[in-house]
């Protein structure tokens, strides 16, 4: 099959590209290299089944042309990372909403299947864990920049479902929960690569708030396997799926585990949210997916543990220059 991966040079996109190429598919990536990196797929250069186009999903002509050549589109291109969103609110909204509109509009011309990558950020600060796909959302005010990402992703989902309903476009929506692994960068805010980089440098490990907030850190390899299975399942069309793991750890526990596995003697430093992000920043205390729906449909069960994920991230960080 011919796949188009928008955001294919990014962390999750590049692993998906690898997986699809390994199983014999053809892959074109479209990436503006804002947070993605050419290096993530440089080992594929010269492969006749792989093509990279460096442009933005805001360029509707390019999107139309590339979508017309594909059998299936995985739309991952987005402004991501809590830190990045807060620092670039306008650009983030444009890319995350108009980019998706461009992809859906182009796919609608031939009825091409689209997988929209959404986020656990959809659930906002709801405390009703574990989150089921049909759960209510709870967001703070638009003045708190963090919530703009959740809002944009919700618009994307609504658009995707509307195309499904009115145009019968085959759309699948996946909500990724804290996906981690090699190639993820800390500079846009993601906690695991940040802690690993800090520990390896011997710098303080910066735990925001009191560190009791929890997350479920999934392996990108489990997530990729799950998504590829969904692609091959007709009953996934028109549906929304959480994906990730439900093994829950506090951020403080993560910091301690990173220090243990790396053998670092970095100090663990607590930093108030207002200092880390912006005044009025709101975090969610727990974020746990209900994975029942995806398990029932494709038998999805994450296989990798927190330690497996951490080891893969540490090994990767040891092999590349720090940024
Ligand atoms: N976090 C932290 N130190 C950092 C970066 C993040 O303590 O250097 C915290 C952050 O406040 C949040 C958790 O780690 O509670 C996960 O943050 P991330 O941005 O990776 O993902 P998200 O908040 O979207 O779950």
Domain boundaries, the chain: 2-180+217-243, 191-214+247-288+303-318
As assigned by CATH, the class of the 2-180+217-243 domain is alpha beta
CA nearest ligand 1 atom 15, residue: 213
Give the number of other CB atoms < 10 A from CB of residue 259. 18
C-alpha to C-alpha distances, 170 to 64, 176, 206, 260, 286, nearest whole angstrom: 17, 19, 43, 46, 33
Q: What is the pLDDT of residue 86?
A: 87
For ligand 1, the distance from its centroid to the CA atom of residue 128, given in whole angstroms, is: 19
**What local confidence, expressed as pLDDT, does residue 85 receive?**
87
Q: Return the pLDDT at 190.
A: 93
Q: Which of 261, 222, 262, 265 is nearest to 244 (CA)?
A: 222
Atom from ligand 1 closest to the CA of residue 177? 25
Ligand 1, from 129, 188, 208: best to mutate by most atoms within 8 Å of Cβ? 208
- Do 177 and 216 contact (CB within 8 A), yes or no? yes
* Closest Cα to atom 4 of ligand 1: 191
Kindly give the number of the ligand 1 atom that is closest to the alpha carbon of 119. 24
What's the pLDDT score for residue 163? 98
Looking at residue 17, its pLDDT comes to: 98
Q: Which atom of ligand 1 is nearest to the CA of 205?
A: 8
The pLDDT, as a whole number, for residue 321 is 67
- From the candidates 149, 163, 208, 300, which is the catalytic residue? 149
Distance from residue 276's CA to the centre of ligand 1 (Å): 10
For residue 56, the CA-to-ligand 1 centroid distance in Å is 27
> Atom 6, ligand 1: which residue's CA is nearest?
191
Query: Residue 195 C-alpha to ligand 1 middle, in angstroms?
Result: 10
Q: Catalytic: 249?
A: no
Fold of the domain built from segment(s) 191-214+247-288+303-318: UDP-galactose 4-epimerase; domain 1 (3.90.25)
Instruction: Measure 203 CA to ligand 1 centroid, in angstroms.
Output: 17
Q: Are 56 and 95 in contact (CB under 8 A)?
A: yes
pLDDT tens, per residue, the chain with 323 residues:
999 999 999 999 999 999 999 999 999 999 999 999 999 999 999 999 999 999 999 999 999 999 999 999 999 999 988 888 888 999 999 999 999 999 999 999 999 999 999 999 999 999 999 999 999 999 999 988 889 999 999 999 999 999 999 999 999 999 999 999 999 998 888 999 999 999 999 999 999 999 999 999 999 999 999 999 999 999 999 999 999 999 999 999 999 999 999 999 999 999 999 999 888 888 899 999 999 999 999 999 999 999 999 999 999 999 886 55
Which residues line the pocket of ligand 1, CB cutoff 6 A?
A: 82, 178, 189-191, 194, 206-208, 213, 215, 251, 283, 287
């Amino acid at each position: 099959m011919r796949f188009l991966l928008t955001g294919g040079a990014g962390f999750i996109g590049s692993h998906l590209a690898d997986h699809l190429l390994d199983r014999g598919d053809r892959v074109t990536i479209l990436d503006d290299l804002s947070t993605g990196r050419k290096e993530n797929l440089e080992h594929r250069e010269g492969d006749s089944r792989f093509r990279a186009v460096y442009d933005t999903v805001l360029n509707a002509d390019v999107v139309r042309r590339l979508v017309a050549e594909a059998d299936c589109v995985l739309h991952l291109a987005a402004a991501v990372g809590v830190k990045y969103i807060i620092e670039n609110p306008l650009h983030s909204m444009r890319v995350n909403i108009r980019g998706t509109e461009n992809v859906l509009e182009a796919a609608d011309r031939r009825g091409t299947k689209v997988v929209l990558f959404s986020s656990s950020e959809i659930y906002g600060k709801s405390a009703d864990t574990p989150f089921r796909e049909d759960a209510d959302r709870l967001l703070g005010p638009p003045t708190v920049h963090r919530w703009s990402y959740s809002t944009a992703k919700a618009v994307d989902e609504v658009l995707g479902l509307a195309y499904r309903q009115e145009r019968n476009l085959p759309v699948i929506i996946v909500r990724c929960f804290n996906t981690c692994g090699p190639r993820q960068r800390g500079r846009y805010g993601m906690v695991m690569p940040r802690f690993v980089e800090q520990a390896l440098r011997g710098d303080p490990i910066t735990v925001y708030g009191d560190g009791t907030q929890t997350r479920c850190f999934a392996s990108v390899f489990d997530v990729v396997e799950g998504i590829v299975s969904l692609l091959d399942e007709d009953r996934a069309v028109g549906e929304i799926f959480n994906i990730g793991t439900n093994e829950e750890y506090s951020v403080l526990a993560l910091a301690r585990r990173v220090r243990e596995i790396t053998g670092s003697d970095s100090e663990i430093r607590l930093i108030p949210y207002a200092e880390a992000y912006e005044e009025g920043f709101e975090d969610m205390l727990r974020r746990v997916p209900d994975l029942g729906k995806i398990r029932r449909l494709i038998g999805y069960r994450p296989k990798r543990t927190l330690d497996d994920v951490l080891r893969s991230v540490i090994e990767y960080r040891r092999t590349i220059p720090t940024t």
